[in-house]
Amino acid sequence: MATIGHTFAGVGLALPVEMDRPGRPSSRWWLGAVVLASHFPDVGEWLLGLVSVQPIDSKLLHGIPAVSICVALFWIVMASLGRVRSIAPFLIVGLAMFSHLLMDERVLRQLISESYRRAPPDSPTTGRTLDLASELWCYGTAPVIALLIVAARWSGRTRSARRGALVLIPAVLLGLLYPRPRVAWIALDAAAVGYAVWALRPRPRRAWLWNLLPLLPMLSLGAVEAWASIETRRGLAQESRGRYRDALASFERAVTLPTRSDSTIRWWYIARCREAMGNPAGAEQALKECVARDNDWHWAEYELAKFYLRMRGTPYHQPDRARRLLRNVIDSDRPVFARRAAEELMKQRKLEPAE
């Protein structure tokens, strides 16, 4: 879930649209509505999960037919309540919502991460999801260019000022092509935003605060995600100090929160604490939960296999199960680094003859 990326995509799509004219969207709600549309598959699934219509981490709305229905509903609301008649805003909302499906593709996330870090495809740093820096670098370009387009079209300053905004667009794109050094593209984007604000001389209005209303579901989900993240960080700090009982309580609170983010790794933290507290049954249960949930983490079966191998002298020492789990990883389509780790562990423990 590329949260920042979806937000940037929504802002970038919304800004160039002319507002506050007959048949056009209102500045009171347009930006918030498009940002909501760019997040809607996740937010909609989360809301349905809260009312127990479906599991909270389902992908019911992550498909073209479901998104098409959601787009149609947005269009009906825009036409009836927003009195929008121009075709462009309808197309923008549809594009914002369908962009969510594209940006959630694992292949795209990995490609962006590899491009930003200049890491090889089999690097563990590129196997899971986008980090903050990669999202800012890639998706942050959209709202920056959108601001420059707005400045070039509607700046109240001189014609030269409007031309200056157009000149900055290739410079921003250059920063997208060359992410190193990081300070270069950050400086370019910051300078472009500053120039656009100077050229536009916007006068903030209280009415713009109404844009927060369509964002309330997204902000609520963000608050829950932040709460889970805080509990996770607290648990890691407690675990590092050997306070396993307190850490376990923090991790368990994190996994009970209705988050959309993948909780697989939090269940692994729970397994570590339970094992450290002398509860192998609880650790095994948590690791099995990891295996059942694993989407992008790639290490669940590997960690369960390691658990079975290190539980010597207990009923949980099960090399045969470990072998099957590792073989599943090796024969899967998981990233190269995960398959190599499984092969190395099998060779180290002599679970199979080396080929």
Domain boundaries along the sequence of the chain: 3-215, 216-348
Q: Which of 54-68, 162-176, 221-235, 305-319 has the lowest mean pLDDT?
A: 54-68
User: What's the rounded Cα separation, in Å, for the pair 113 and 126?
Assistant: 6
- Which pLDDT score is estimated for 352? 65
Q: What is the pTM for the complete model shown? A: 0.82
345 vs 293: which has the higher pLDDT: 345
Residue with tokens 């192998």: 280
Band (295; pLDDT cuts 50, 70, 90) = low
Would you say residue 123 has pLDDT above 60? Answer: no
CATH placement of domain 216-348: 1.25.40.10
- Residue-level pLDDT at 107: 74
**What angle (nearest 5°) sits at the alpha carbon of residue 223, between those of residues 219 and 133?**
85
Question: Please, what is the Cα angle at 335 between 334 and 338, to 5 degrees?
Answer: 85
Contact 311, 336 (CB under 8 A): no
Give burial (CB, 10 Å; 0-12/13-18/19+) of 86. Answer: middle
In whole angstroms, give the CA distance from residue 275 to residue 306.
12
Query: How crowded is residue 335: how many other Cβ atoms within 10 Å of its Cβ?
Result: 19
Assign 128 a pLDDT band (cuts: 50, 70, 90).
Answer: very low
- Judged by average pLDDT, the poorest of 94-98, 183-187, 272-276 is 183-187
Task: Please return the burial class of 343, using the count of CB atoms within 10 Å of its CB with bins 0-12, 13-18 and 19+.
Answer: middle
